[in-house]
């Protein structure tokens, strides 16, 4: 059992350190350096942690979960929720990589993973999406009696009353009341309307916050293209194909049917693209994201389903074919831009200090004004590129990626 002994501060075991080095991590990022001592100290304290996209928040909370598990007890001890199955699967890959030299047992709480007949999960760490997690807890397939840590990745999204908030609260309300559970919230964004609720959800938390002007990383250069009309956006996207495939690219659309339509059309015209959205079935979604992760597809046309958290280092370009709007989150909202989703979308590139490019397509006064609002809210300039001059475009982009 020597390998399970904690060091004198009660921090990581040598087995976890081995896992961390095996992942190629030699020194902590700023958020890891700040958050880890707070996350790992005893008695456990809640945490609300904010840090820009791609700065290594996952490793911080995964290390906390692994550190708090007693591997001699075969019961769930840490739960982690994420907004999409793609992100849950990615988080799990970090748990298994970091826990490679431990005896950690893991299980998913995502759709179509467990047979309906499953009666009990004995895994130490369960990662999933809120609806499925709540269902497994309600049916007592997950025994909550030994849960010590509860993590919400993309916490502002998970707590949003217009989205996943209800399901997330259901999960929290089923946690044991016999002992304290450490609640950990992480995100790159905590808009004002969820800040107060976050503090209620994770009371007396240590807080690490960002200022408004720090929200997105400087290594992402932001551009826009003035298209003549909505149809012209398609032509521009096609003219960018060479550039999109220099590395890998993600194209974000507002609607599933737009993602399908442009991918079908581009495919018919001889371009190789993939499309992913929430209307596809689970197995298909897994296969599509895995192919993209492996670099077999270079262009992924999608919706907000993968706007958050997805970490694919080779992605050096993000295109906002449609700008994100508030009414995608809240059906009653008007057509204001969704600044948080914008920050997360462009954050799919420029990961962990790498360079990246984002391009917004605007096509009329309304979309131009929406972009202007995003520019104001983030305090970062968005530079115009001419749509008719592909050479200038290529030059500018290559320079930005150097
Ligand atoms: N200490 C480290 N040294 C080297 N690479 C690291 C380190 N910590 C994390 N990384 C790598 O940085 C990348 C980004 O990390 P991660 O996905 O955790 O970012 P994030 O902060 O959760 O971003 P987002 O807000 O987009 O979810 C990953 O590829 C991860 O493996």
CA 16 vs. chain centroid, Å, equals: 23
Structural tokens at position 11: 């921090």
Helix axes 85-98, 282-293, angle to 10 degrees: 60
Give, for ligand 1, the residue of 27, 39, 50, 54 to mutate: max count of ligand atoms closer than 8 Å to Cβ: 54
Distance, CA 29 to ligand 1 centroid (Å)?
9
Q: How far apart are CA 38 and CA 49, in angstroms?
A: 10
Q: For residue 282, what are the CA distances in angstroms to 85, 115, 141, 170, 224?
A: 8, 14, 21, 23, 34
Q: For residue 55, what are the CA distances in angstroms to 58, 155, 221, 316, 379?
A: 9, 16, 17, 16, 20
pLDDT in tens, 204-257: 999 999 988 889 888 999 999 999 999 999 999 999 999 999 999 999 999 999
Query: Along the 402 residues of the chain, how does pLDDT read in single tens digits?
Result: 233 344 545 556 789 999 999 999 999 999 999 999 999 999 999 999 999 999 999 999 999 999 999 999 999 999 999 999 999 999 999 999 999 999 999 999 999 888 888 889 999 999 999 999 999 999 999 999 999 999 999 999 999 987 899 999 999 999 999 999 999 999 999 999 899 999 999 999 999 999 888 898 889 999 999 999 999 999 999 999 999 999 999 999 999 999 999 999 999 999 999 999 999 999 999 999 999 999 999 999 999 999 999 999 999 999 999 999 997 766 666 789 999 999 999 999 999 999 999 999 999 999 999 999 999 999 999 999 988 777 777 787 778 787
Q: What are the residues whose beta carbons fall under 8 Å from the beta carbon of 71, sequence distance 6 or more? A: 4, 102, 103, 104, 124
Architecture of domain 216-401: 3-Layer(aba) Sandwich (3.40)
Q: How far apart are CA 334 and CA 162, in angstroms?
A: 14
Ligand 1 pocket, residue 59 CB under 6 Å: yes
Q: 301 exposed, middle or buried (CB, 10 Å; 0-12, 13-18, 19+)?
A: buried
**Hey, what CATH class is 14-210 in?**
alpha beta
Nearest protein Cα to ligand 1, atom 25: 53
Nearest protein Cα to ligand 1, atom 10: 56
Give, for ligand 1, the residue of 83, 352, 354, 356 to mutate: max count of ligand atoms closer than 8 Å to Cβ: 352
Instruction: State pTM to two decimals.
Output: 0.95
Ligand 1 pocket, residue 340 CB under 6 Å: no
Query: 193 preceded by cis ω (within 30°)?
Result: no
The residues of the chain that CATH labels 3.40.50.300 are 14-210, 216-401
User: Is the interface score ipTM higher than 0.90?
Assistant: yes
Q: Are strands 206-208 and 274-276 parallel, antiparallel or unpaired?
A: unpaired
Q: How far apart are CA 388 and CA 372, in angstroms?
A: 22
């Amino acid at each position: 059992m020597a390998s399970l002994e904690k060091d004198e501060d009660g921090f990581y075991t040598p087995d976890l350190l081995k896992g961390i080095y095996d992942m190629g991590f030699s020194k902590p990022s700023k958020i890891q350096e700040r958050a880890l001592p707070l996350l790992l100290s005893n008695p456990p304290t809640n945490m609300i942690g904010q840090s820009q996209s791609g700065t290594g928040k996952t490793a911080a909370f995964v290390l906390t979960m692994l550190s708090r598990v007693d591997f001699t007890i075969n019961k769930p001890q840490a739960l982690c929720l994420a907004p999409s199955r793609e992100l849950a699967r990615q988080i799990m890959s970090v748990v298994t990589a970091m826990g490679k030299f431990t005896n950690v047992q893991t299980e998913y709480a995502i759709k179509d993973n467990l047979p309906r007949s499953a009666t009990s999960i004995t895994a130490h760490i369960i990662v999933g999406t809120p609806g499925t997690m709540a269902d497994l807890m309600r049916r007592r397939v997950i025994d909550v009696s030994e849960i010590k840590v509860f993590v919400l990745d993309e916490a502002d999204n998970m707590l949003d009353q217009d989205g996943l908030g209800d399901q997330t609260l259901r999960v929290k309300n089923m946690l044991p009341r016999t002992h304290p559970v450490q609640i950990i919230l992480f995100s790159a964004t905590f808009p004002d309307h969820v800040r107060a609720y976050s503090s209620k959800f994770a009371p007396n938390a240590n807080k690490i916050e960002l200022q408004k002007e720090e929200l997105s990383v400087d290594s992402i250069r932001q551009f826009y293209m003035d298209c003549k009309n909505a149809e012209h956006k398609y032509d521009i996207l096609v003219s960018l194909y060479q550039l999109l495939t220099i590395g890998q690219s993600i194209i974000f659309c507002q609607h599933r049917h737009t993602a399908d339509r442009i991918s079908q059309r581009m495919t018919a015209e001889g371009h190789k693209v993939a499309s992913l959205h929430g209307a596809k079935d689970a197995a298909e979604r897994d296969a599509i994201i895995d192919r993209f992760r492996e670099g077999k597809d270079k262009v992924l046309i999608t919706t907000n389903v993968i706007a958050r958290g997805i970490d694919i280092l080779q992605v050096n370009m993000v295109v906002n074919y449609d700008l994100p709007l508030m009414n995608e989150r809240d059906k009653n909202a008007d057509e204001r831009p969704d600044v948080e989703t914008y920050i997360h979308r462009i954050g799919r590139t420029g990961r962990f200090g790498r360079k990246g490019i984002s391009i917004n397509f605007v096509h009329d006064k309304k979309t131009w004004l929406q972009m202007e609002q995003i520019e104001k809210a983030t305090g970062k300039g968005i530079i115009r590129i001419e749509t008719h001059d592909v050479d200038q475009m290529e030059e500018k982009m290559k320079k930005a990626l150097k």
